[in-house]
Structures are given as C-alpha cells and as structure tokens.
Amino acid sequence: MVRGALAMLANFGSPVTTDGSGVNLMVLPLICRAGMSRPLGGLGALTAALAADLTEHRGAIRTGARVQELVVRGGNVTGVQLSTGETIDASTVLTACDPRTALRDLLPTGTLPRPLAARAGAIPVMNDGCTHFRVDLALDGKLTLPRHAAWRADGLDLRKPSHMLGDLDEICDAIAESRSGRVPDPLSMVNIIASSTDPDCAPSTGDVLSVWSGWTPHYPNAGWDALREPVADHIVERACEYYGGIKEHTVVRTVEAWPDITARTNVPEGNVYHVDMSPFRTGGLRPARGFGGYRTPVPGLFLTGAGTHPGPSVSGIPGQQAARVILRQK
C-alpha cells in the first residue's frame, strides 16, 4: 500500500519506470515542509485575485489576444505581434507558455544560433508516449465511501483527502501498455472530491469529483476519438467500486483526453507540465541547457511557467523568481 502511494506520487511527474523518475518524489518533502492548499472557489479564484492586484497597480490585462510572433529588432526582443496584426512594443517579454512554443514557434527563424535552436526544438514533452486522461463529474447528491468508512472508528471524513487507486504493479503495467499504444486495464487514478473542503464548488446538496488517470497511451491504436468515452466509462466504473452515489447522482460529465487538454489550455501534446520531468530537466537544465534561470540568449526575452524551475503545480515560484531576475537586470 505504501509503495503504491509513493509510486503514484512519483508517477504524476513522469512514468515511474523511466530512468530518473525518482526525482519526482521530491514533491513529498516539499509538501511536508510548505504544505499544500487549494484556493476556495477553485484555482480561478487565484487568477482573479492576481488580476485584481495587477489592475490595482495600474497594470493592463488583454485576454483573447493570441501572440503570433515575438518581434525581434537588432537581435533584441522588442515586443509581440498578435494574430490580428497588432504589434505591442515592450522592452521585456516574459513568456509563460511552454518554452518549446516560445523558443521554437514564436521566435523568428534564425534568431537563435543553430545549436540552441535545435536544443529548443528537442525539449521533451511526450513522457515516453504516455499521457494523462481526465474526467470531471458534477453530482446532485453527496458521494460516500461506505466500505472504507466502515473500516475506521476514528470519525475521519474520508471525503476530504485525495484518493489514490492503484498499486505498484498496476502502475508499471499501465506504463508498459501505454507505451505500446494500448489502454491499460485497470487504470490507476487519483481522485479529489473538491466540494468536500470547498463549499463554493457545488450546491450544498451536491458534489464535484475530479479524476486524473494514471498514464494512458499518447497515440492509442484505435485513436482518441473512438476511445475517449469508453475509457471514461471504464474510469467511472472503477470509481464506483469505491464511491457510493456516482451512478445515481451524476448530472454532468466532462471528459478530456490529451487533445482536449491541448485545445483548452494550449499546452504541448496535452502535457500540463510543459516539459517532461526528469533529473536532466530540473534546476538550471529546465527547460534545456542554455535556457535555464529564466533567461534566454536573446536580450529582452525571459521564460517562466511550469516549463521552468522548479516545475509544475501552482506554486507561483517560477513567476516570482523570473520577476526577480528581470528586476535585477533593470
């Protein structure tokens, strides 16, 4: 049981059978030291708070303004050109999109020296052919964990912790199957009843359940268009083995395979970490040698976000550290 829980934690950084994947267990002491929390109202509440603070300090926010290209003059980045053709001038551009997109797609060809351009284009985002799958359920009733609650006598509310389903063998088998283009059976998963700790997520009589699968194939043999709903059905069926009330109370189901995640968030290949997590993509090597420390070889261009140190999750650290680097250069 303990091995399965530790493997699941490491597995969410990269497939645990990948060399060096143990680095992902660094998240455990970080959680123990700094804690982990979730904003009331969901992560959108954090975005709203940051936006309010920025506008209060006379900052301006543009949404729905897709950047077509970084503008380079005299070897320096001097702004961005939007897909509408509008150019916004700036002495400094800080990109929070994935680094591969910023360096390979947004920088004009020839801006980077050829070796660095090749290195940027080779930033890994495919997790050895494995990817995550997500199912969200909105329910008009409360979920229970009757079997596990009956085993306890301490009154702990089991709805509040995250729930990890899958042992070490299941996790390793799922990785091997996914790399071969087959959907694993069973699928390991991590589940959260967000409404158990955040009443703003659902009506008082309802619940919200979010399920992230363990690894699934990036390019399944049958294709995600054919497999999306069957895989979601499989995930829900397994969840029903542990939760009471799913079938009776589900009113809305949202399913996302990696193409859907990319369409919604613009992350590369559905990789919400922006860059694969490995010892060779941490610290000054994240996202790649020559692009660490939030700096780039192009004056005026800086990187931040999940593809920079210390990596994914919503910590605010990449943005904070990138801002400090920029301010020191002013």
pLDDT tens profile 58-115: 999 999 999 999 999 999 999 999 999 999 999 999 999 999 999 999 999 999 999 9
Q: Assign domain 66-125+271-329 to its CATH architecture.
A: 3-Layer(bba) Sandwich (3.50)
Residue ranges per structural domain of the chain: 66-125+271-329, 129-269
**pLDDT given at position 300:** 98
pLDDT above 80 (res 168): yes
CB proximity list for 226: less than 8 A, separation 6 or greater? none
pLDDT in tens, 226-242: 999 999 999 999 999 99
pLDDT in tens, 105-127: 999 999 999 999 999 999 999 99
The answer to whether residues 176 and 17 touch, using CB atoms and an 8 Å cutoff, is yes
Give the burial class of 63: count Cβ atoms within 10 A of its Cβ; 0-12 exposed, 13-18 middle, 19 or more buried.
exposed
